[in-house]
Chain A
C-alpha cells in the first residue's frame, strides 16, 4: 500500500459544485501539504498543516479550504469549483529533508 493515498484519482465536476479531495498517510508525519501542478508552473503550494491545530495558507489558497481531521488525514475542498481549478492535485507529507507525495488527483472542472 502507498504511504500517501489520495482519493479520488480522477474527477470531473461541473462549475459551481463543491468537491472534496481526500488524503491519508501512514508515515506518521506531522506535516502535510496540498499542491496543484500545472504545466510550466510546477508545484504550487495551496495549504499546509504542521499538526491538527495548525493550518497555514500557501501561495494560492484563494478558492480552496482544508481540514486536518487527524494526524493521518488532510482533505482539500473546492467550495465552488471553477474551470481554472482544472489541474493535477498532490497531497504530500514531509520531514525536514524529504517530501513524500501521493499519486495525485486529476480534477477537471467543466
Chain B
C-alpha cells in the first residue's frame, strides 16, 4: 500500500460544478497537508495548506482534513475552465527540519466550458 493514495482520474466536470478531490494516507504522523496544482507542461505550485484537522477556505477553494479517518479533501466551488489541471496532495510530519513531503499521484481535472 502506498503511503498516500489519490484517485488518478481523469475527472471531467461542466463549468460551475462543485469538484471534490480526495486523498487517503496511512502515516498517522502526518500533520501538515498541502494541495499543489500543476498545469500542463509546468511544475506543481502550492495552492493551499493546512495543519492538523479542520477546514481552511481560500476563495473558491476549501481544504478539509479528517485525521481520524486519514482523509483529506479539496473542494472547488463554481469551477472554471482555468481550474483544469492536475491536483496533487502532499503531506509531511512537522517538527523535523529535514522532513520530506510525500506526494499523491495526482488527479487530472478538466472543467468544460
Contact = CB atoms under 8 A, between A and B. Distances in A.
Interface stretch (A13-21, A41-49, A68-76): A41-49
Nearest to B6: A42
A103 B43 contact: yes
Interface string A68-110: 0000000000000000000000101010111101111000000
A4 interface: yes
B49 interface: yes
A42 B42 contact: no
Interface residues of B, number: 24
A64 interface: no
Contacts of A101: 43-45
A97 B43 contact: no
A28 interface: no
Given A48-B100, A90-B43, A97-B32, A41 B49 contact: no
B32 A40 contact: no
B101 A42 contact: no
13 contacts: A40-B105, A41-B105, A43-B103, A58-B100, A92-B43, A96-B94, A96-B99, A99-B46, A99-B101, A101-B43, A101-B44, A101-B45, A104-B42
